[in-house]
Amino acid sequence: MGLKKKLNNMNQKIFIKTFGCQMNEYDSNRIYDSVKKIGYQKTDNYEEANCYLLNTCHIRDKAKEKVYHEIGRLKKVFRSKQKPLVIVVGCVAQAENHEMLKREPYIDLIIGPQAYHKINNTILAYNQDKKKLEETEFDAIAKFEYLSKIKNNNSKVSSFLTIQEGCDKFCHFCVVPFTRGPEYSRPYKQVIDEAKSLADNGVKEIILLGQNVNAYNNDGFKLSNLIKEIQKINEIKRIRYTTSHPKDMSDDLIEVYKYSKKLMPLVHLPVQSGSDKILDSMNRNHNIKEYLDIFYKLKKINSNIEFSSDFIVAYPGEEEKDFKNTLELIDNIKFIHSYSFIFSPRPGTVASKLKLIDKAISMKRLERIQNKLFDNQIIKNKLLENKTINVLVENQKADKTGFFGRSEYMTPVIFNGTEQDIGKIVSVKIIKSNQNTLFGEAVMSVNQKVA
């Protein structure tokens, strides 16, 4: 018997919950673009869902348990109702695969990050024969070929666009090479077409995504080529990219900062540690001098460029002097905002076999690094008080007390805008600030400015 092309009842409701990084957010949107074709409509109320899709993250410990807790909660809510179709996708789905179906029979389908092109047929097949399935092979080419034929419907002011996926670097702490598979760069034309289609939807800012976004290379076309081509699209006002690896911060990419008006002056470049010994043991393949060289090269091009980063504290073998090196690096660079985490051993990684640092010391180090990082944020935000900055306006706040946008450095800005400001770059005078947010008043829309 052949597979039906749509569900019997075209009024099916899907609830999508997303954990993890920006790429999971992008993927969840693309999964929805796909399942809409077979009859699903999104709902924000999961109690009315016929399908519950959980997009998962495996980056740190507890991620897996979070998935089972989530399903436990779902079971309780649906105890006296018709069970929804339960689909687990994302990095935990890839890492745990059929084990999940054994441990939690409430789950019906498991689909890994490089098998999303199979999602519609997997659902339709399940609908017909109720056979539980796990799809976890790595087939990034087929996935992106399939998805490129389905319109990306995102029409928000700021949209993600995955250009590269997977990782061949195998940092000793990280599960990503195991969950996302080998490094793959999408065809150049496929990316440009998607960027144009997002611009047609009304998108004004594109954030190019990849686990190693600056390693993008498709037949010699690099990230710098993509940025130069996307900035030709009139409607696109801002371009960003994340996450970069210091090893791939090539001169052609650094050069783009010399003349691009649309590439934002914020470089998110995770360093993880300020100690060469720890970087070596993490298999990061660069040292602090090389990282600082990139920083100074960019600062020379444009002194307004700011850096943000990710840090891992209490990596096995990290002594007080290594940790102090990290604090020194933060003092040197004064990162504008950063993420910091205690090392979490991940199954299958080299570092999972190393001796853990005492929990109390780890927690204390996290507190010390965060105090320093947050103090920097507070100082940088305070310096903007009484200054006028450019803000790309994204939406009205849910409680209607103001409008929300972001500075060139991604800092959230709340101000007294109007609905007409949404999607525009507006000059905002900053009145107040705190660690994470700037508060201000609109001066005028940059688009209305007279030369």
What residue ranges bind ligand SF4 (CB under 6 A)? 167, 169-171, 174, 176-177, 211-212, 245
- What residues numbered 247-306 form the site for ligand SAM, per CB under 6 A? 270, 272
What tokens were used for 6? Answer: 């749509």
| 357 lies in the binding site for ligand F3S (CB under 6 A) | no
- What residues numbered 71-90 form the site for ligand F3S, per CB under 6 A? 90
| 170 lies in the binding site for ligand SAM (CB under 6 A) | no
Q: Which stretch binds ligand SAM (CB under 6 A): 221-229, 321-329, 341-349, 410-418?
A: 341-349
Identity of the residue, 96 or 108, whose beta carbon is nearer to ligand F3S in the bound complex: 96
Report how far residue 143's alpha carbon sits from residue 352's, in angstroms, rounded to the nearest whole number.
31
Q: Which listed residue (154, 162, 179, 433) binds ligand F3S by CB under 6 A?
A: 179
Q: From the list ligand SAM, ligand F3S, ligand SF4, none, which binds 344 (C-beta under 5 to 8 Å, kind-based)?
A: ligand SAM
| 115 lies in the binding site for ligand F3S (CB under 6 A) | no
Q: From the list ligand F3S, ligand SF4, ligand SAM, none, which binds 170 (C-beta under 5 to 8 Å, kind-based)?
A: ligand SF4
**Residue 274 CA: distances (Å) to CA of 281, 316, 335, 344:** 12, 14, 13, 18
Q: Which listed residue (91, 140, 256, 422) binds ligand F3S by CB under 6 A?
A: 91
Q: Where are the beta strands (DSSP E) in 155-227?
A: 158-162, 164-165, 184-185, 205-209, 217-218, 221-222
Could you please report the per-residue DSSP string of 372-429? HHHHHHHHHHHHTTT-EEEEEEEEE-TTSSSEEEE-TT--EEEE---GGGTTSEEEEE
**Residue 64 CA: distances (Å) to CA of 57, 105, 342, 348:** 8, 16, 17, 15
Q: Which listed residue (7, 14, 16, 23) binds ligand F3S by CB under 6 A?
A: 23
| 59 lies in the binding site for ligand F3S (CB under 6 A) | yes
**Least Å distance between CB 186 and ligand SF4?**
17
- What residues numbered 350-369 form the site for ligand SAM, per CB under 6 A? none
H/E element holding 64? helix 63-77
| 162 lies in the binding site for ligand SAM (CB under 6 A) | no
Among 95, 134, 100, 92, residue whose Cα is nearest residue 115: 134
- What residues numbered 289-318 form the site for ligand F3S, per CB under 6 A? none
**Least Å distance between CB 271 and ligand SF4?**
11
Backbone angles phi, psi at 71, to 5 degrees: -65, -35
Identity of the residue, 78 or 341, whose beta carbon is nearer to ligand SAM in the bound complex: 341
CA atoms within 13 A on the CB side of 207: 21
Among 128, 158, 116, residue whose Cα is nearest residue 32: 116
Report how far residue 122's alpha carbon sits from residue 133's, in angstroms, rounded to the nearest whole number.
8
**Residue 388 CA: distances (Å) to CA of 412, 413, 422, 446:** 14, 12, 18, 11
Put the strands of the sheet holding 40-42 in their side by side order.
Answer: 40-42, 12-18, 51-56, 85-90, 109-111, 133-135
**Least Å distance between CB 340 and ligand SF4?**
14
Identity of the residue, 112 or 440, whose beta carbon is nearer to ligand F3S in the bound complex: 112
Q: Which residues here bind ligand SAM, judged by CB under 6 A?
A: 21, 59-60, 173-174, 176, 211-212, 243, 245, 270, 272, 310, 312, 341, 343-344, 346
Q: Which residues here bind ligand F3S, judged by CB under 6 A?
A: 20-21, 23-24, 57-59, 90-91, 175-176, 179-180
